[in-house]
Amino acid sequence: MKYIVLITLAIFATQLAANDEFMIRPFTSVGQLQLNLRPKPGANGVTNDAKLQTYQPNVSNFSGVVVGHKGFSVTFGSNVPPTDASIQEKGKTDYKDYQFQFYFTHVGVDLFYQTFQGFYRASAQEGEKTVLADGTKAYPQLPDMQMKKYGANLWYVFSPQNYSISAAFNQTTRQTRSGGSWITMAMANDVNVSNNGSPILPEAQRTEFGVNGNISGARLKSLGGLLGAGYTFVLGGWYLSLQGLGGVAAQQFKGNGVQDPDTQNVVSKLYNVRGSLGYNGQTFFLGFMWLSDQVTTEVDGLEIEPASTRAEVFFGARF
C-alpha cells in the first residue's frame, strides 16, 4: 500500500506578503529514508575490515499538487509505481507516509508517521549482488525488514519579520526582502527497526562488527533540541534560502541481537539542513528544494543512524 497525505496550515506575520486567496503548486519529489550502521574500529571487537552498511527501501518519485487558500494547503498526489526491473533489482517496499505541517507567525509544527517494509542493502559491492537469469544484478534484499518512524518537530523563529520558513520551503506566502533569523527546534520521535528476528548485517560482516554483529533490530526514542539559523537572499522575485540546525537528544535505546539487550540511556547527535532556490513572484513561482534530517546514536562501538533526505522540483500560481 502506497500513499502520502500532507496537510499544511499557515498564518503569517503582516511584515511578509499577505496570504493568498488561492494557490496551486504542482511538484515532483524524490525522497529517501535509510538506515546506516557505521562501525567504530577498535571498539568492542570491531575490526578494521568492518564497513559501513546502508539499507534503503525501494521507493519511487512522488508527484502531486498543492492546493492552498488563505494559508491553508492540502497536498494530493501519488507515487509512480516502481518498474518490474526495479523490483527485481531492489525488491518491493510497502509503505505509508502521513505528514501534517502548521505555520504561525513565530511557530511551526511538523507531525509525521511513516512505515516502510522491504529494504535492500544499498552499500553492497558488485561481488555481493546476485546475477539473475536476464543478467540483472540484484542487491541483497531484506523483505521482512521494517522501519516505523513517528514524531513531531516544533520550530520557533526569533525574527519572523525578517525570515519565513514557509516562504522558503512551502511558497504559501512570499518573502519580499533579504533577511534571516535564529531558529530553535524541539523534536520528539520514536524509530523502530526490525527484521523478524534475523540479523540485519550480512554474514561476512557480523564478526567484523564485534559484539553487536548480530543486531536484528532496535528501538530509539528521542527527545531533543536544535539551534541554528536561516537566511533568505532576495533579488527581485528570485530567492535563495539556506537553513541549518544542530543539537542533541536524550535517547532511550533498546537493541535486539546486541551485547546489552537492556534499555540504555544515551545522548544522540541531531542535524537538520535544508535549502531552496527559485522564483517567488506575485502570481507565479517555481524552484528547487532539498532537505536532510538525521539522528546519530553510538552504542558499544556501533553508530546507528536513521536518516531521511528529499529533493523536490515545483512550480505554481496564485489567483
Instruction: Indicate the pLDDT class of residue 79, thresholds 50, 70 and 90.
Output: confident
For 16-29, write each residue's pLDDT tens digit. Answer: 444 556 778 888 88
**Residues of the chain above pLDDT 70, percent:** 91
Q: What is the pLDDT of residue 221?
A: 94
Task: Count CB neighbours of 222 within 10 A.
Answer: 23
Pair type for strands 94-103 and 2-10: parallel
Higher pLDDT, 142 or 3: 142
Q: What is the mean pLDDT of residues 181-200?
A: 95
Across the chain, where does the E strand assignment appear?
Answer: 2-10, 23-39, 53-57, 62-69, 72-79, 94-103, 107-121, 130-131, 137-138, 141-157, 179-194, 217-235, 238-256, 264-280, 284-299, 302-318
Tell me the residue range of the domain where 265 lies: 2-318
Q: Is 302 helix (H, G, I), strand (E, B) or coil?
A: strand
Q: How far is CA 10 from the centre of its chain?
A: 21
**pLDDT of residue 44 exceeding 80:** no
pTM here is 0.84
Sign of CA dihedral 215, 218, 224, 228: positive
Supply the mean pLDDT for the chain: 86
What CATH number is associated with residue 256? 2.40.128
pLDDT in tens, 234-292: 998 899 999 999 999 999 999 888 777 778 899 999 999 999 999 988 888 999 999 99
Q: How many domains does the chain have?
A: 1
Alpha carbon distance 43, 50 (integer Å): 11
What is the spatial distance between Cα 52 and Cα 42, in angstroms, rounded to a whole number?
15
Give the amino acid at 60: S
